[in-house]
Structure 1
């Protein structure tokens, strides 16, 4: 008489569907990562912030006041009239043509929206500024 063999249960997990899902997720993340990561490149210091050296050229200061108006201080004899973002870009680009080694700093009022500072930094980047510093007031820790 013919005897039937008993099948034992297989205790292995089939991982092929999991690999397929992981490959699809990898492709999705590779496509969306460049879209999500936008920003302004800023050179951050490695240590504590220090003031500019005394022997360096005077910086070009692009300012935003509490009302959201833009100003540029190129140096001595510079006028402090209200400008729009395009004029700020042109002034800084012209000053950098004369002295490309001059540092550029952004001075913003603490009550303005962060978006205004970013707009100024992007316009300075378009003007050819290699790196931008942020001007702050010094404070003492308690």
Structure 2
């Protein structure tokens, strides 16, 4: 409320604006804005070291590699395996969600019957994410 203190003999209207209600409204709006701002939560992600005694898993969650060398030896992620063990690893990888990729890389000197036998095992295991590694060297031949 505006109030004139003291003063002379002026009986005319006041020319000053009453700012008290304006300040009250502004303070209420400021408090409402502060109350509606969401609380900021700061999270710091820390990668803690893992126990080094654990060996790497045989079946990886993202991709696995089947390699066949020139003598016909089959390798699963750089470990030699036989046909039965290969099928067990394939079944184990199919249990994961999402299914990991299987990279198949036969040596160019590998006998075709060995490659065909391993591809048949992979097909019988119902692998859906299969990629052939090393074919890019032949892209300009055709």
TM-score of the two chains, using structure 2 as the length reference: 0.48
Higher Cα Rg, which structure: 2
